Structure formats: C-alpha cells, structure tokens
Amino acid sequence: MTPSKIIIDTDPGQDDAAAIMLALASPELEVLGITAVAGNVPLALTGRNARMVTEICGRGDVAVYAGADRPLARKLVTAEHVHGKTGLDGIDLFEPARPLESKHAVDFIIETLRSEPAGTVTLCPLGPLTNIAMVLERAPDVVGRIKQIVLMGGGFFEGGNITPSAEFNIYVDPEAAKIVFGAGIPLTMMPLDVTHKVLTTRVRVERLRANGNRASVAMADMLEFFERFDEEKYGTDGGPLHDRFGTDPGRHRGGLVEGDRTSRKRPCRQGRRCRSFLRFVDRAPWPPVIVSEARVDFG
C-alpha cells in the first residue's frame, strides 16, 4: 500500500504532539514536512515543540518550518491555561538538535504542492488556519492540486472550548477559516462533537506508558498534564484528545453538511455567532464539508 502524503500544520500543544507522534509512526502516512503556526502558544514555542516531538520519535529527518506568528486580522489568543507556558508542559524540555528550516512554512507548502503530482498531498491543519489561508491567497494555482484538507476545528452541538460556543482553532483566526472553508477544496472537519468522544482515560494512558519506549512515555507524561484541565471542567476520566483524528486522512466517515450564507454584510466580530459557528459573511455558495463521525474503540 502506497502511503498517503501529508503536510501537518500545527501549534503544539500536547494533543497536537500526540497526533504528530501517531502520524510519524504510521506506515500508512508519509509526512512530507511539518509547518508551525501560532496558536496554543506563540510561534517561537510551537516551532520548537514540533521539533522536540520529531526528535523524541527518532524522526529528525522530518523538517519543521515556521509560519505565521499571528492571525490574519486580529491579535493572537493563546491557551497556556490549558497547555502550560511552554505548550508541552508535562515533559522535560530540551533544545532540539535540528534547527528550524530557513524557508517560511507558507513557501514550503506552496512549493511542495507544485512539485508533487496534483491530487496526491493532503493538508492536515491541527491549529488555527492562518498558514493554510495564506497559501490559498498567495498561490491560487495550488488549490486544484490539493487532494483534500483534513482539519480539527469547529463544533456543532457540543458547545465551545474557548467560549461557551466557540472552538479554539476557529476562534483564533476566523478570517483564515473563512478563506479555507470557501476555497472549494474537498474538506473533512473534525469538530468537538467528534473529539469529545476520544478521552485520554487513566487506563489508556497507563497502557501507553507501559510500552516503555521514549515516545510512549513522553506522550503519557504530556497527556497526564493536558487532561487535568478538562477533567476538572467536565468531570470526566481523562480529557478529549482533540487533534488525534486530524492526521488520519483515509479513516473518516461522515455526512455532507451544506453551509448557509448570512445576508448581513458586516465583518466577523469577536464573540459573534459567525465566529462561533462558522457562519461567515460575504461568501460564494458554501462548498459541502464532510463532518466526520467518531467510532472509537481503544479497548
């Protein structure tokens, strides 16, 4: 079986780190590169965190590129209250051996999409969609070359995780989300309705730790720190592992959702319904979006 080619766009975050680790270990995926974006913590930390994760996994061959350090049109909102000051609190941090690549993340994505055969590369954004929107705005010719976008973001009936109704990744850069969702690219969305079914229960974390290798122990340590916020918030055994499904482009089943178009011509404002529920203004007819179902059985 030929591995699926993906680019992971990420703002690690312990849940992003878990998704990256699983992708790097999968024989079904070929990670062409990792691009960092500001989100859970500022860009200087997300770029370092992504490199730490690749080194922990013994995958120093995978290059990491730094991208946007702020949203397209507003101030950056971060989530240190969830992930800790570093974004990867819970493990012993270190300076990775491999430096960031000198090329900007947006340039890397554009050049890769142009050089790889059309329709073979999937983009897997796990954080705010700033880098991906910049790619689409700067290089419209690559839109038709993207196989699909598989992203973690948004929410329908589950409620929000940064406001009572807004999911963090969309909340941080709704202007970028507007561009990505309106581009007409095949898109699979992992909303909170899916990710809240994937809990880092104590039994699962301990089974992971029992593997004994460096990556498994590091992931267990990170998840034990990460889950504390949601355990207190929801009263559950473990917290949602939000980004795990964002790097599984071939494993989703779901239904097409036709978005609507509001007739009010005004910009998105922080906290308004358009920001919370992806109902963006001044849009061409909304392309169908596949909203994945969650069928989870980790034993």
Active site residues: 242
Could you tell me which residues are beta bridge partners of residue 188?
A: 150, 290
Interior CA angle at 295 toward 290 and 297, to 5°? 155
Q: Are 62 and 34 contacting, i.e. CB atoms less than 8 angstroms apart?
A: yes
Which amino acid belongs to residue 97? Answer: A
Residue 221 in tokens: 């340590």
Cis preceding-peptide flag for 13 (omega within 30 of 0): yes
CA pair distance 266, 260, nearest whole angstrom: 16
Q: Cβ neighbours of residue 77 under 8 Å, at least 6 residues apart?
A: 162, 168, 171, 172
Q: Are 17 and 43 contacting, i.e. CB atoms less than 8 angstroms apart?
A: no
Interior CA angle at 129 toward 127 and 130, to 5°? 115
CA pair distance 46, 39, nearest whole angstrom: 8
CA pair distance 155, 132, nearest whole angstrom: 20
Which amino acid belongs to residue 191? Answer: P
Q: How many other C-beta atoms lie within 10 A of the C-beta of residue 2? A: 7
CA pair distance 126, 87, nearest whole angstrom: 14
